[in-house]
């Protein structure tokens, strides 16, 4: 769970170890220099973020309680 689950193993954004600047730099370089559709990743990320909107979370939580 956590970031890896939310980002679905980088389907929706970068994952790197907190504090590991070299790992972050390598990820950024990968996104800059490889043939990756950044706009598609941004769009997927925004859509994924909607899954965590407070109204959706509250509805799911109420469903668990009932």
SS3 for 46? helix
Q: Which of 15 and 1 is assigned the larger pLDDT?
A: 15
Q: What is the pLDDT of residue 11?
A: 85
Residue-wise pLDDT tens digits, 20-57:
999 999 988 988 888 888 888 889 989 988 888 999 99
User: How far apart are the C-alpha atoms of 22 and 45, rounded to whole Å?
Assistant: 24
pLDDT (tens digit per residue) in 32-41: 888 888 888 8
């Amino acid at each position: 769970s956590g970031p890896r689950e939310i980002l679905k193993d980088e389907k929706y954004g970068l994952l790197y170890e907190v504090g590991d600047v070299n790992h972050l730099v390598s990820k950024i370089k990968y996104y800059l220099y490889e043939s990756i559709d950044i706009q598609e990743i941004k769009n997927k990320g925004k859509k994924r973020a909607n899954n965590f909107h407070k109204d959706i979370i509250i509805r799911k939580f109420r469903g668990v309680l009932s």
